[in-house]
Structure 1
Amino acid sequence: MSKDPRYILLSLPSSITPSHHRDDALEAIGKTISPDNGSVVPFAIPEFKIGTLDALVQQADELARLEALCQGVVGKVGDALRSVLEGDEEQIANMKTVNDKPADQYLRTFQWNKVKYRADKSLAELIDLLQKEATSIDNDVRGKFSQYNQVKTTLAALQRKQTGTLSTKSLASVVDPRLLVQDSEYLETHLIAVPSRSTKEFLKSYETISPMVVPRSSTFVASDDESTLYAVTTFKKHSAEFIHKCRENKWTPRDYKYVEGGEEKERQDLDRANADARRLWGETLRLGRTGWSEAVMVWIHVLVLRVFVETVLRYGLPLDFVCALIKVC
């Protein structure tokens, strides 16, 4: 399942030993693998309903594609878990169980799920069922993970508004509305974040960088380590030119419109985003854990079908083969 260790499912005809007995064949397989290189355990495969040769050839191709799909789903669910747990390998390992067992134990004690995938169904029906299940797991986990990422992005943007500099943060808690000219037909107030090293130049030149700037209208609003925020009043018909000239001078115009209760609304939005992020974190983690388990189980059942089909194609009928799980160190 992971890069280390690796597992191999191997099927061989019982005729590899003179006795043609399955136990002897398994023993022979075990003797070919030294303890330093790996270990061998029997792996039970049911006998499924076999159709025509043409159908088996087609099903072998379908199962190869389905196995690749399942492997991809397992990988994507694992990536989602890693992202949600922020790379905490110990926690990730705890989440990666299969049917509430370590993956190695699940493989070594594997039994075909006769309730979900009845062996009396045709191979075509089983393949279709497994494909639908793998696709459903992929869609469910991907959808929930997308929701979680969206709310994380929203939360990060709201947090930046609260904790950034005056050139980027929300101004709802910074600007006294009494500093702004509001509801005027001709005048409007602009908020300009000026780098601290440029404040003298700004105060010296802001009145002349464009026409119709109200003289001495510059008013200190707030400052931080990087910049100072000023309010400047201009006539509306020259506002665009004033804003353009500010940008040319690397002074940052801030879009701001006073809304009564805006600061409280921002706080509520942040609280709501925090709550949504915590809720979706838990939901994504739970779905990722169950999704990884289910995806691995689907993958192994697909592998079992693939081994069975290819065994029939290679060794023919009547069926007389053994299957072993080899754990490669």
Structure 2
Amino acid sequence: MITRSKLNTRRIKQQEDNWTMAPSTQHYWIVSIPTENSSRGDVFQSLKSRIASSNRDYAEVSTFPIPAFKIGTLDSLVSQSEELAKIDAQFEGTVLKVVDVMKGVLQGDDDKVREQCVVNDRPVDSYLTSFSWSTTRYRTTLSIPELSSTLTKEMTSLDIDLRTKYSQYQQAKGNLLTIQRKQTGNLSTRSLEGLVHKDDLVLESEYMETLLVAVPINDQKDWLKQYETLAPMVVPRSSSKVAEDDDFALYNVTVFKKYSHQFSQKCREHKFVPREYKYDENALENSQKEQKQLGEQEKKLWGETLRLARTSYSDAVTAWAHLKALRTFVESVLRYGLPPDFVSVIIKPYHKQEKKAKKELDSAYSYLGGPAFSEKKSKSRKADDDDAAIGALEVEYSPYVFYSMVV
């Protein structure tokens, strides 16, 4: 016989395993069961005992209270059920997009992303397992289509706002990276500002100009032997080394403007790299100012985007949970009839216990699907023993109302 202390120890161990082994996302199931002349408390305890008892400790079970909404005709409920299913998929996509934005801003750091994934400054788990309908935000005096429309408008608005802000951040980040790249790399690609001085160039000449060429570090002797003969009208002994790194040496050379293009072409044929450069005594200072401004802009937008993503996540999960409640109500009325009398719960299955919990629920409530469902489940029991994607659980028909959230 399992004592209460042993049971508590077991559950603590299970929760610790769930914490250390669980993936970055958590599955939640929203389930409703008809009362069938029993008290709500008895139905809740019966359901809970199936998957959260001493011998079936597969999940945590909490109440998921749903208010009574205005009910129209049966045809309208069927139409609303179909529409809510479409909206549900859209909401899930939006939540995933918000998380993707967080990952982009936080450079894929999953731990930091999870820190930002809170709802009203509470952990998601705390919010969902103690969910209550926000009557101040979503008045129950409104019809079901009006409520779903309100939720959709909220979700669409936050999606657009976050997309716009994230696009601005990405643009600022791209501009900063572009100017930073100019300051890195070897002499064949990097910016020459600050490396080339006025004395290295022939300026303000009507007929001559100074070209700059990046020469591979091991080909400098070839350069010095050949540069005077690469094209006509190259000024003899006009080339000198301006700068050097591990890969290239930067040389200047004076040629007549008439043959500049031909000289550059010959350089490329010999694997010397001509560099485009126009001297500006203020270029380095201007570049540094621009980089500083872009850095400040990127930092500012980084903070704004992260804050908006955090707020958007909170609002998106809130709207999604309320939509799930609305969808659960509509489906429960369609399945169990009027007046609406059912118990709704939210289930948090432990890591790697999802299939066992689902099988227990199916076994306990298969009668709600009628004899055909029970027979079908019996025939497919062997196939069910194979591993299957958890995400397919909601796609399969359940004899009771069953929806999932993955956050």
TM over 0.5: yes
Q: 1:23 offset after TM fit, Å?
A: 1.4
Matched, 1:277 2:298: yes
Matched, 1:233 2:251: no
What CA RMSD, in Å, does the superposition of the two structures yield over aligned residues? 1.9
Cα distance between partner residues in 2 of 1:191 and 1:264: 21
CA drift at 1:86? 2.4
| Corresponding residue SS for 1:305 | helix
Counterpart of 1:42 (choices 57, 60, 63) is 63
1:31 is aligned to 49
What secondary structure sits across from 1:28 in the alignment? helix
TM-score (structure 1 length as normaliser): 0.93
**C-alpha distance in 2, partners of 1:57/1:215?**
90
Indicate the residue corresponding to 2:283 in structure 1: 262
- Find 2:111's aligned residue among 90, 94, 99: 90
Q: Distance in 2 between matches of 1:220 and 1:267?
A: 25
The worse-fitting range, judged by mean Cα deviation, of 280-289 and 48-57 is 48-57
Q: What SS does the corresponding residue of 1:193 show, helix, strand or coil?
A: strand
1:111 corresponds to: 132
Partner residue in 2 for 1:170: 191
Determine the structure 2 residue equivalent to 1:186. 207
1:139 aligns with 2:139: no
Q: How far 1:4 moved relative to its partner?
A: 4.7
**Residue in 1 aligned with 2:378?**
none
CA shift, 1:101, in A, is 0.8
Whether 2:171 is the aligned partner of 1:150: answer yes
CA displacement, residues 170-208 of structure 1 (integer Å, 9 cap, x when unaligned): 212011123223333332221111110111111111222
Q: 1:245 to 1:65 in 2, by over 3 A?
A: farther
Aligned match for 1:63, one of 84, 89, 94: 84
* Aligned positions of 1:287-326 closer than 5 A: 287-326=308-347
- Displacement after TM superposition at 1:229 (Å): 0.5
User: Cα distance, 1:78 vs. partner?
Assistant: 1.2
The amino acid that maps onto 1:237 is K
Q: Does 1:6 align with 2:27?
A: yes
How many angstroms apart in 2 are the aligned matches of 1:188 and 1:79? Answer: 52
| 1:200 matched to 2:221 | yes
Please give the per-residue CA displacement for 1:299-319, whole angstroms capped at 9, x wherever unaligned: 111111111111122222221
SS in 2 for 1:106: helix
CA shift in 2, pair 1:219/1:3, >3 Å:
closer
Q: Residue in 1 aligned with 2:395? A: none
- The aligned counterpart of 2:39 is 21
Give 4+ residue runs of structure 1 displaced > 6 Å after superposition.
none
Distance in 2 (CA, whole Å) between partners of 1:302 and 1:63 is 8
1:215 to 236, 244, 247: 236
Cα shift at 1:3: 6.0
Normalised by the length of structure 2, the TM-score is 0.76
Counterparts of 2:163 and 2:309 in 1: how far apart (Å)?
9
Query: Where in structure 1 are there 5+ consecutive unaligned residues?
Result: none
**Which amino acid in 2 is paired with 1:232?**
V
SS at match of 2:183: helix
Aligned-partner SS, 1:229: strand
Instruction: State the one-letter code of the partner of 1:68.
Output: A
**What is the letter of the counterpart of residue 66 of structure 1?**
I
Separation in structure 1 between the aligned mates of residue 160 and residue 249 of structure 2, nearest angstrom: 49
C-alpha distance in 2 between matches for 1:274 and 1:311: 54
1:129 partnered with 2:150: yes
Q: Alignment length, in residue pairs? A: 326
Query: Counterpart of 2:370?
Result: none
Moved more, 141-150 or 6-15: 141-150
The CA distance in 2 between the partners of 1:327 and 1:275, in whole Å, is 43
Separation in structure 2 between the aligned mates of residue 213 and residue 132 of structure 1, nearest angstrom: 70
Q: For 1:163, what is the secondary structure of its paired residue?
A: coil
Match of 2:19 in 1: none
Residue aligned with 2:346, SS:
strand
The separation in 1 between residues aligned to 2:275 and 2:72, in whole angstroms, is 72
Change in Cα spacing, 1:190 to 1:52, as seen in structure 2 (3 Å) is farther
Measured in 2, the distance between the counterparts of 1:194 and 1:111 equals: 71
Q: Which amino acid aligns with 1:297?
A: T
Alignment match, 2:273 = 252
Q: Aligned partner of 1:11: which letter? A: S
State how far apart, in whole Å, the 1-side matches of 2:203 and 2:194 are. 18
Structure 1 residues 247 and 54: alpha-carbon distance in aligned structure 2, compared to 1, 3 A threshold = farther
In 1, are the aligned partners of 2:67 and 2:140 still within 8 Å (CA)?
Answer: yes
